[in-house]
Amino acid sequence: MTDHSPFNSKRRLALPAALLLAIAVFALCAIQARRPEPFTVSFLDVGQGDAALISAGENQVLVDAGPDSSVLSGLGAAMPFFDRTIELAVLTHPHADHYTGFLAVLRRYRIRTMILPEYAAQSPDYRRLLEAVRDDGTAVTLLDCGEKAAVGGMTLHVLRPCRGHAQSADPNEESLVLRVSGPDGGTVLLTGDLPGASGEVEAAAAPGEWQAELLKVPHHGSRTGATAAFLKLVQPTAAVISVGKRNTYGHPSPAVLERLDSLGIRIWRTDRDGTVTAVWGPGGFRVSTTVKPPQTSAARLPFQHQSDNFRSSFAKERQ
């Protein structure tokens, strides 16, 4: 006997509906999986030091690692919890506030390849880092000025120093400078502790290569770190100063802050804003911070840079 129960009819209708829902969910997951991850740069809050995590999709580049293990909390927040591999690490120069954190990073993450400076420091802690890199099986390479490294669609262009030059006794003068480009555009200039006078001479020799939308201000915003000539050659729209709260060096210099402001360059500081993250999307990039600005501060309104008109959106926000 045929069963014409309404319950059976509902079950027959439910099967196609469930199938359609499953297909829709599968299609959505497939679209999400194929969607490229944005080019992202996070200047990690590591106190008085430098650490920048650059990523595109599942690929990460860590440039410097700060003075201690505080870099781990920043990496934990910025990277997927299941990801324990950093494709490339870069040390700009052998000062403790840039390299010591790598000892903690190597204990928690695998670093596939590390770019080290040619400048050789003799401190016990730096020797410990070199031993840890060797023991971990990390590949080590040196890059000369003009050479490039590609990671997950990102391009790291080494601008200085050039091999064979007369080395300075000051490691800051030997800072490795990188211009990083995202897979679909976006540029950031990472400068280590490069003195501004050295930077402006070299940038003037190849001005187009040093231009970038976002600048990591040299040497924690020290008085000599970002001269007016250097800033005009780089032409950034925004700048980040990696600096510790109440540091004993007086960083950042009031003169540098005034200089950046006078050129219409938007400023972020890790001592006030926490970790500063720039994410590139269609037409430009947007900046977010882990420390939220006061609602009444007009100067700290959300910032979005439009690449097709370097200063238009910024000028409108400042009015």
Among the listed residues 82, 87, 78, 84, the one whose alpha carbon sits nearest the alpha carbon of residue 51: 78
Query: Where do the domains of the chain lie, and which CATH numbers do they carry?
Result: 37-318 (3.60.15.10)
Min mean pLDDT across 45-54, 162-171, 184-193, 205-214 is at 162-171
pLDDT tops 80 at residue 185: yes
Give the per-residue pLDDT at 205. Answer: 85
pLDDT tops 70 at residue 64: yes
Token output for 260:
């950046």
pLDDT tops 50 at residue 224: yes
Question: Quick one: average pLDDT of 254-267?
Answer: 96
Express as a percent the part of the chain with pLDDT over 70.
Answer: 81
pLDDT tops 90 at residue 101: yes
Question: Quick one: average pLDDT of 269-292?
Answer: 94
The b/e string for 121-149 (b: 16+ C-beta within 10 A; e otherwise) is: beeeebeebbebbeeeebeeeebebeeeb
Give the per-residue pLDDT at 16. Answer: 62
Confidence bin at 225 (pLDDT 50/70/90): confident
- Tens-place pLDDT, residues 108-157: 999 999 999 988 778 899 999 999 999 999 999 999 999 999 999 999 99
Question: What is the identity of the amino acid at 271?
Answer: D
pLDDT tops 90 at residue 305: no
Give the per-residue pLDDT at 32. Answer: 43
pLDDT tops 90 at residue 311: no
Give the per-residue pLDDT at 306. Answer: 54
Question: Quick one: average pLDDT of 258-275?
Answer: 97
pLDDT tops 70 at residue 296: no
pLDDT tops 70 at residue 24: no
pLDDT, mean over the chain: 85
Specify burial of residue 313 (Cβ count, 10 A radius: 0-12, 13-18, 19+): middle
Instruction: Name 304's Cβ contacts closer than 8 Å, sequence gap at least 6.
Output: 284, 285, 286, 287, 313
Give the per-residue pLDDT at 201. Answer: 85
Give the per-residue pLDDT at 202. Answer: 86
Instruction: Name 306's Cβ contacts closer than 8 Å, sequence gap at least 6.
Output: 283, 284, 312, 313
Confidence bin at 7 (pLDDT 50/70/90): very low
Express as a percent the part of the chain with pLDDT over 90.
Answer: 68
Question: Quick one: average pLDDT of 150-176?
Answer: 91
